Amino acid sequence: MSFRGYQSPFENTAGLRVSPRAFERVSIVVPFYNEEECAESVLREIVSCQPGAEVVAVDDGSKDRTWEILRSVAGITPLRLTENRGQSGAMFAGLRYASGDLLVMLDGDGQNDPADIDKLVDLVRSGKCDVAVGRRAKRRDTWSRRAASRIANRIRRTFLHDGVSDTGCSLKVIHRDHVDLLVPFNGLHRYLPAIFTHAGLKIAEIDVNHRERRAGTSKYTNFDRALRGVYDLIGVSWLLKRKVILPHIETRDKE
């Protein structure tokens, strides 16, 4: 059967939760776009550091050999968007597809250190926070990118009050329940702390390692980031004011 328009690629499960939340299984979601030069080494390092975790590698409609490489690496779950939808789209698809209780996000360029995953996961499991986010202790980027990031973070905190100093760090850990709070849009990955804070979740920042890009090239420029940032800031401010956060839902007890 063929469908016109949009069809969700995800199955829906009817009914309300009947069991308590679990925190055991870990899934790691890694988006890639035209990263044939570094995809294999990044994934092998993640699998080596987290051998018991599900690793969902999402190809965001790459034009190079990225998808071929993702399919060739043992121990991962490859996922491919047939059209490019941007980092946020790929990340959202991976979060929806992942089967773990705790969902780890990190970038596919190799600058996040997978050795830091355990301390963020442990922080959430300890109950000290609902969401754990990385803070790049010593950034390995150009001076212009660091300066642009500091300005963007300051402006974002002023308008959104998310309490996070480094939203640009991709390394984050959330519970799979938190995916229900997300609305997919371009730039979503930069506003996750604001969305979770607005929902009443407790967020903890922790210093993590940041490394130089070992291969490939960045897909963003400072001008592009700034232009999108202003546009997104207006939209996210509106979204947070109008977004509905559902409370716990009850139904009749079964007889």
β strands within the chain, DSSP E: 26-32, 54-60, 77-81, 102-105, 131-136, 172-175, 203-208
Per-residue confidence of the chain (255 residues) as pLDDT tens digits?
444 566 666 666 667 777 788 999 999 999 999 999 999 999 999 999 999 999 999 999 999 999 999 999 999 999 999 999 999 999 999 999 999 999 999 999 999 999 999 999 999 999 999 999 999 887 765 656 666 666 666 666 667 777 788 888 999 999 999 999 999 999 899 899 999 999 999 999 999 999 887 775 665 555 566 667 778 888 899 999 999 988 888 887 654
- Cα 86 to Cα 164: distance, rounded to the nearest angstrom: 23
Q: Nearest to residue 45, comparing CAs of 92, 104, 115, 97?
A: 115
Hunting for tokens 């963020």 — which residue is that?
A: 120
CA–CA gap between residue 111 and residue 197 (Å, rounded): 26
Q: What is the DSSP code (8-state) at residue 7?
A: -
DSSP 53: S
Taking domain 26-242, whether its CATH number is 3.50.50.60 is answered by: no
Query: Domains of the chain: which residue ranges?
Result: 26-242
pTM for this model (two decimals): 0.86
Angle at 125 between CA 163 and CA 52, to 5 degrees: 120
Interior angle at CA 107, CA 194 and CA 21, nearest 5: 60
Measured at the alpha carbon of residue 225, what is the angle toward residues 107 and 42, in degrees to the nearest 5?
15
Distances in Å between the Cα of 183 and the Cα atoms of 15, 24, 135, 235, 238 are: 21, 26, 24, 12, 13
